[in-house]
Amino acid sequence: MATDVTRAVLTDDDAEGEGPLRRSRYAERLLAPLSLVLLLGFWEFVVHHYAINAILLPPPSKIAQALASGLASGLYLKHFLVTVGEAGLGFCIAAVSGVIMGTLVTQFWLLERTFYPYLVALQSMPKIAIAPLIVIWFGYGGTSKVVIAAMISFFPILVNVVVGLRTCDRSKIDLVRSLSGSPWQIFWYVKLPNALPFMFAGFNIAIIFCILGAIVGEFVGGEAGLGFLIVAANTTLDVAQVFAVLIVLAVLGVTVFLALQVIHRKVVFWAESDDINRYS
């Protein structure tokens, strides 16, 4: 779903083209929503026609009702803010510590030798599996969710920072060295900006992981948040509510992803065109 939305946003910029081209673009853009309407209609029809129990599969109309009432009562907003807060805080912690740790590991050879093997080993461990432990250690409140979110998004950021700082053109480093630049200047003027595209690739993965981490934390044991809401609705067999919360989650995921894409393109504006030019 995320990629569909990105593509729609991307084509927006070049929609200003010639007449016939433009018309076909519009028609093309109608395809996705149209297929959704057809699917929902089919779903509604099947549920009513075969009298499927709403506990198994609620019709789209019921889900829409649940969504509307949840939004109107402010119930979703309250839990939405809890989950966003946990995921956001977790992301900030992971981003800051991932960038600092990645920098230290690549700048100081001894640190790399000492810690990097452990970091790689930890990275290949499914961190979701530790979630119950984290809840025991940090309690049922928001802290445990922040910790889980930070933990699972730390590694994609770290690995990308390390790769980004390492894959630096020898010639760019030589350029600064030839001007008698210090290691710090090499880092600041060349290695760090060179690593930015990689860092953003890590951030893109991490931001989704953070939401995932917060939700899993709320599943395992929580008092608030969209994950908590899903579990609560599940236990009362309010399946329409579960679907409605899933829609809210999907919207959250897509929004966050798109926002990061915009920032990404603003910050590392050179990355794509430079790669194309280098081989031309």
Does residue 270 interact with other proteins by CB under 8 A? yes
Q: Quick check: 167 binds other proteins (CB under 8 A)?
A: no
Query: Considering only 87-95, 112-120, 235-243, 264-272, which stretch makes contact with other proteins by CB under 8 A?
Result: 264-272
* C-alpha–C-alpha distance, residues 224 and 86, integer Å: 11
Under the binding rule (CB under 8 A), the answer on residue 171 touching other proteins is yes
Q: Name the residue type at position 159.
A: V
CA distances from 21 to 12, 13, 16, 46, 182 (A): 13, 14, 9, 38, 54
Q: How far is the CB of 99 from other proteins (least distance, A)?
A: 17
Other C-beta atoms within 10 Å of 145: how many?
A: 35
Per CB under 8 A, does 172 bind other proteins?
yes
Place of tokens 């949840």: 70
Q: How many CA atoms lie within 13 A of 156 on its CB side?
A: 18
The residue type at 212? L
The least distance separating other proteins from the CB of residue 41, rounded to whole angstroms, comes to 48
CB of 169 to other proteins, least distance (A): 7
CB 244, min distance to other proteins, A: 44
Question: Total binding residues for other proteins by CB under 8 A?
Answer: 24
169 sits near other proteins (criterion: CB under 8 A)? yes
> Which tokens is 180 given?
């008698």
52 — phi, psi (to 5°)? -70, 135
Q: Which of residues 54-113 bind other proteins (CB under 8 A)?
A: none
Among 71, 177, 232, 261, binds other proteins (CB under 8 A): 177
Residue pair 176/185 in contact (Cβ under 8 Å)? The answer is yes
Among 124, 235, 236, 277, binds other proteins (CB under 8 A): 277
Subset of residues 191 to 210 that bind other proteins, contact rule: CB under 8 A? 193, 196
CA distance 270 to 178: 24
Q: Which region, judged by CB under 8 A, interacts with other proteins, from 45-53, 98-106, 189-197, 248-256?
A: 189-197
- DSSP H/E element including 200: helix 192-220
Q: In the numeric block, which tokens belong to residue 244?
A: 């409605």
For residue 214, the tally of other CB atoms under 10 A from its CB is 31
Stretch that binds other proteins, among 58-66, 88-96, 187-195, 246-254 (CB under 8 A): 187-195
Q: Is 116 near other proteins (CB under 8 A)?
A: no
Interacting residues toward other proteins by CB under 8 A: 169, 171-172, 174-181, 185, 189-190, 193, 196, 268-271, 273-274, 276-277
